[in-house]
């Protein structure tokens, strides 16, 4: 691409951002092996060749109160990245999701006249819509994963490109359903419900007991049901096992390739977030579950401007799968929604058809490559 070689700084703050950032780095290096990277992120970015100043994913939190508890650590990381950029410079900085941190960083970078590229948009369309004006002023290029995001930003005159969703390339099943169930000592003839309680320890503490209560209720109503707890790689197995030890349910843990676990399930209960899209890509009917601290919930109710909170429903533009949110996130509430799916084959067919449309809306693959080309065009242009 020319000389001298360029140096890019990249910042991601959660496990999903770390994953997508690592794929982006890999795609950029394939196009231009001379480019070097440094920044804040997680183990996947480090393994991909990023000179990591600090593992920011260890501070991944959700909610107002949770952020306050980690404020000092987050502030130190913020100062650190600016000190490194001031000392070493950067041809561009790529910000990956993590808006509370990265939008503030964008403002400081703009003061330094450093090119800012944002990959994976903050959900400004859901709340704090006025942030779009901040983004227009402080971000040089938005690379977004959803078509509706492109339309939203374009309406405000932001330089934006829809690249598609990288999950289209990463969601792959390696073990057939029957083989996985046999390996876990489960029956291929029973109804299998997947439990996806989240990728953060706090989510496990909050949601897994509720989901297991749901499982207990359903097992009493439907004797031919069994359960898989699909463990995110960021969660220790002991964090799951301590809850399973308290139940007599037929329930097994799936670790490693979570997509094998989702594929082996007939339907799922899923913590709100990226996992709802992963489940949608595999076209498994689901109930979306979300619960947070009361303070965070009250603040969210004041600012959130969209009817649906589950990302799969947001992308669909309508509620295609049920949501059990906050006070509805109880064993009885979730069981009620799952029951309506289990007992209605037409409803299952309708949900699967809608999930197929969502999958198709995410693009045809190659999101990381498209984003990489656009970044290099911006850096060398």
Taking the C-alpha atoms of residue 301 and residue 234, their distance in angstroms, rounded to an integer, is: 29
| Tokens representing residue 262 in the block | 């989702």
Contact 290, 323 (CB under 8 A): yes
Amino acid 124: pLDDT: 78
According to the model, what pLDDT value does residue 59 have? 65
- Rounded-to-integer distance, Cα 86 and Cα 82, Å: 6
CA atoms of 95 and 24, how far apart (whole Å): 11
Q: What is the Cα–Cα distance from 243 to 204, expressed in whole angstroms?
A: 9
Residue 173 dihedral angles phi and psi, to the nearest 5°? -100, 130
Predicted TM-score of the model (pTM)? 0.87
* Cα–Cα distance, 111 to 358 (Å, whole number): 39
Query: What is the 8-class DSSP label of residue 5?
Result: P
Return the H-helix or E-strand segment holding 51.
strand 51-55
pLDDT digits (tens, 9 = 90+) for 151-165: 999 999 999 999 999
CB atoms within 10 A of CB 113: 6
pLDDT of residue 76: 92
Tell me the longest C-alpha to C-alpha distance in the chain: 68
CA nearest to 24, candidates 119, 159, 101: 119
Helix (H) or strand (E) run with residue 118 in it = strand 116-119
Residue spans of the chain under pLDDT 50: 1-2, 64-65
Identify the pLDDT of residue 211.
Answer: 98
Radius of gyration in angstroms for the set of CA atoms belonging to the chain, rounded to a whole number: 21
């Amino acid at each position: 691409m020319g000389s001298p070689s360029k140096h890019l700084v990249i910042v991601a703050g959660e496990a999903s951002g770390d994953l997508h950032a690592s794929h982006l780095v890999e795609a950029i290096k394939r196009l231009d092996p001379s480019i070097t990277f440094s920044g804040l992120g997680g183990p996947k970015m480090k393994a991909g060749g990023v000179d990591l100043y600090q593992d920011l994913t260890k501070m991944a939190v959700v909610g107002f109160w949770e952020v306050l508890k980690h404020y000092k650590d987050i502030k130190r990381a913020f100062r650190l990245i600016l000190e490194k950029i001031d000392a070493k410079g950067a041809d561009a900085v790529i910000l990956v999701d993590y808006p509370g941190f990265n939008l503030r960083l964008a403002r400081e970078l703009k003061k330094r006249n450093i090119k800012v590229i944002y990959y994976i948009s903050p959900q400004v369309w859901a709340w704090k819509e006025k942030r779009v004006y901040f983004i227009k002023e402080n971000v040089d290029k938005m690379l977004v994963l959803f078509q509706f995001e492109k339309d939203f930003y374009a309406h405000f005159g932001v330089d934006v490109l829809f690249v598609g969703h990288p999950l289209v390339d990463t969601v792959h099943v390696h073990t057939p359903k029957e083989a996985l169930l046999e390996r876990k000592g489960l029956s291929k003839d029973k109804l299998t419900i997947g439990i996806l309680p989240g990728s953060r320890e706090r989510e496990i503490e909050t949601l897994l007991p509720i989901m297991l209560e749901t499982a207990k209720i359903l097992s009493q109503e439907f004797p031919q049901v069994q359960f898989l707890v699909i463990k995110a790689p960021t969660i220790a197995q002991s964090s799951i096992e301590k809850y399973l030890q308290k139940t007599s349910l037929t329930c097994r843990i799936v670790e490693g390739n979570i997509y094998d676990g989702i594929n082996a399930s007939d339907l799922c209960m899923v913590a709100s977030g990226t996992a709802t899209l992963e489940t949608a890509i595999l076209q498994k009917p689901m109930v979306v579950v979300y619960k947070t601290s009361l303070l965070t919930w009250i603040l969210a109710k004041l600012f959130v401007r969209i009817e649906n909170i589950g990302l799969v429903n947001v992308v669909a533009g309508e509620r295609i799968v049920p949501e059990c949110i906050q006070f509805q996130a109880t064993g009885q509430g979730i069981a009620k929604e799952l029951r309506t799916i289990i007992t209605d084959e037409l409803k299952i067919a309708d949900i699967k058809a809608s999930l197929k449309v969502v999958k198709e809306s995410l693009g045809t693959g190659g999101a990381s490559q498209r984003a990489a080309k656009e970044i290099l065009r911006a850096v060398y242009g």
